[in-house]
Amino acid sequence: MQRTLTLNHGTPETRTRDRRPCRWTALSAAPDACGRLLEDISRPQRAIRRGEGEEIERLIEASREIRRSLIDARQA
């Protein structure tokens, strides 16, 4: 499949779509990942705005556990 792209200066450019499905699978998962990230960010914001101390502590402890597991797996 070919697509014609227009650059900033109006010059047409044709590129062939990458035929490796793994790349497009990862790309198609990006909107879901972004949605989860925004949800994860809004959770502590909401708790702070509402003054929910216990929820803030729970979120901090959950974050610590995730960080520890990443360190243990040598991924951090």
| Residue 13, in any domain of the structure | no
Query: Which residue has tokens 């990942």?
Result: 33
Pairwise CA distance, residues 76 & 71, whole Å: 5
Range(s) of the domain holding residue 33: 20-72
Structural domains in the chain (count): 1
| Residue 64, in any domain of the structure | yes
The pTM of the whole model exceeds 0.75:
no
Task: Provide the 3-class DSSP secondary structure of residue 10.
Answer: coil
Tell whether the torsion through CA atoms of 53, 55, 61 and 66 is positive or negative.
negative
Note the pLDDT tens digit of each residue in 26-71.
Answer: 777 888 999 999 999 999 999 999 999 999 999 999 999 999 999 9
